[in-house]
Amino acid sequence: MCLVAGLLCIGSNYLMAQSNAASSSPDRIILNLTAAGTNSVAVSWRTDTLVEKGFCEWQLSPQGPVASENTRQVVANTQQLVYTYSNEPAIHAKQHSCTLKDLAPGKSYIYRVGDGTNYSEWLEFSFPAEDQEAFSFLYFGDPQTSLKSQWSRVVRKAYQQVPESAFMLYAGDLINRAGKDREWQEWFEAGRFIFSSTPQLMTPGNHDYDDRTLDPHWRAQFELPKNGPKGLEETCFFIDYKNLRLISIDSAAGDELDDENGWEMQSQVAWLDSVLGNTESEWIILTTHLPFYSPKASRDNASLRKHFQPLIEKYGVDLVLSGHDHSYGRGMASDSSNPLHQPVYVVSVSGPKMYEAGDKDWMKRKGSKVQLFQKITIAPGKLNFEAHTANGELFDHFQLRKVDGQTELLD
């Protein structure tokens, strides 16, 4: 009896280990935007450790069958990792990344990844044409829990409603337990080919860190810009996408920036000052996990406001997109008695973990117990914002307009 139970236990551990193990076939294929925005894209994927090399093949999207003579090839940077979490079986994997460069605006491309024997399917992406004035992107608050069973609804509904989305942006807490490979397996299963067709951007949340250490999956499986302060590459960065400068501040670093004199806070404040003071982009959006103003009654991030809000107001940031509070809140506010400018602050949630939005003055619109995705459309002089529920219904909307260099809110 004991022997049977033992074998069952070993067998179930083996099966559980295999559910998220890498194989010789590429999986977890994901596109990330580069700092340059629209003329290059980064591709990352995973295999088992027996795969010796990785490369990406790509060409302009043909009308029919793929013609091999049109294919270009780029060799990936490959690194070997062992992911461990608690007493779960270790996951041994190779992570491959490469960048496709010199892409033409307005064109569609197909690509596949592999090692010469095993390949992914041919996948497709495109960038807007130079004379295409408007583009949309999707923004999600925390996915975090029930990633496969419930968060999948939201990312798939968002893709159905906005298939042309230029990229998808996550405001942190992509999973619940940093380093837990099984949760990353769920995250990738939820997004599947969407992640390999629409470039993804993410800023980390506190759940993407474990005791001040970033989840080792982050820099291995994503290829995000390295133009932030030293030590915060791929978590604090900016991209320029047409007339938008999008900035990620890593508010989860340094245990949620708990030391206001710590290097994580001080280096990002100095860096933000430089990147806000050095842009001609018409629209500026900042994303960071912790909300500047919290919907939840018991929460407040005064230190974040103290250090970053003066810069946001000085340089006229239009929109601040956050997560962390598992509810929805949207409004304008300032800690200054005489602010020159106020951005719109938004807090949202995409996964099913829920908190109650409290009774706070800063919120013009709030929501509890709703999973949401946001469609943000940017055009010269105009920014349109829509929040939609998990079943696709419009939940909130507003518009920003640039009038004589000033931003006006219409809602």
Between 29 and 346, CB nearer to Fe ion: 346
Within positions 15 to 74, which residues make up the interface with Fe ion, using CB under 5 A?
Answer: none
**114 vs 205 by CB, closer to Fe ion:** 205
Cβ of residue 172: shortest distance to Fe ion, in angstroms?
A: 6
Q: Helices (H), strands (E): how many in the chain?
A: 7, 24
Q: Which is nearer to Fe ion, 173 or 250 (CB)?
A: 173
| Cβ distance to Fe ion smaller for residue 173 or 223 | 173
Structure tokens at 367: 């929501």
Among 112, 324, 326, 366, binds Fe ion (CB under 5 A): 324
Q: How far is the CB of 326 from Fe ion (least distance, A)?
A: 8
For 265-357, where are the E strands, in sequence order?
Answer: 283-287, 319-322, 328-331, 344-347
Tokens of 266: 């001080």
Considering the complex, what minimum distance in angstroms separates the CB of residue 178 from Fe ion? 11
Q: Would you count residue 305 as binding Fe ion (CB under 5 A)?
A: no
Q: Which stretch binds Fe ion (CB under 5 A): 79-87, 163-171, 173-181, 354-362?
A: 173-181
CA 337 vs CA 67, 252, 333: distances in Å? 64, 28, 10
Q: Give the number of other CB atoms < 10 A from CB of residue 251.
A: 31
Q: What is the DSSP string of 341-367?
A: --PEEEE-B-SS--------TT-SEEE
Q: Which stretch binds Fe ion (CB under 5 A): 20-28, 51-59, 123-131, 167-175?
A: 167-175
- Largest interatomic CA distance in the chain: 81
From residue 247, alpha-carbon distances to 120, 171, 205, 219, 350 in Å are 32, 11, 15, 18, 21
The helix (H) or strand (E) run that includes residue 265 is helix 263-276
Distance CA 359, CA 323 (A): 18
Looking at the Cβ atoms of 240 and 300, the one nearer to Fe ion is: 300
Instruction: Give dist(CA 87, CA 93) in Å, integer.
Output: 18
Q: Which 3 state secondary structure label does DSSP give 10? A: helix
Tell the smallest beta-carbon distance from residue 325 to Fe ion (Å).
8
* 46 contacts: CB under 8 Å, gap ≥ 6: 22, 26, 27, 28, 93, 94, 95, 96, 221
Q: By C-beta, is 209 or 238 nearer to Fe ion?
A: 209
Among 27, 115, 173, 250, binds Fe ion (CB under 5 A): 173
Cβ atoms of residues 323 and 375 within 8 Å: no
Q: Closest approach of Cβ 181 to Fe ion, in Å?
A: 20
Binding segment for Fe ion (CB under 5 A), chosen from 3-11, 17-25, 165-173, 307-315, is: 165-173
* Distance between CA atoms of residues 47 and 26, nearest Å: 5
Report in angstroms how near the CB of residue 173 gets to Fe ion at its nearest.
4
Site pattern 98..127 for Fe ion (x: CB under 5 A): ------------------------------
In the window 180-209, what residues touch Fe ion (CB under 5 A)?
A: 205-206
- The residue sitting closest to Fe ion, measured at its beta carbon, is 324
Tell me the site size for Fe ion, rule CB under 5 A.
Answer: 4
Q: Which is nearer to Fe ion, 113 or 252 (CB)?
A: 252
The minimum distance between CB 390 and Fe ion, in angstroms, equals 19
Give the nearer residue to Fe ion in terms of CB position, either 173 or 318. Answer: 173
Binding mask 204-223 for Fe ion (x = CB under 5 A): -xx-----------------
3-state SS class at 369? coil
Minimum CB distance to Fe ion smaller for 125 or for 293: 293
186 in helix, strand or coil? helix
Judged by CB under 5 A, does residue 325 bind Fe ion?
no
The answer to whether the CB of 365 falls within 8 A of the CB of 331 is yes
- Alpha-carbon span 198 to 218, nearest angstrom: 18
State the minimum distance, in angstroms, from the CB of residue 345 to Fe ion: 16
* Residues in contact with Fe ion by the rule CB under 5 A: 173, 205-206, 324
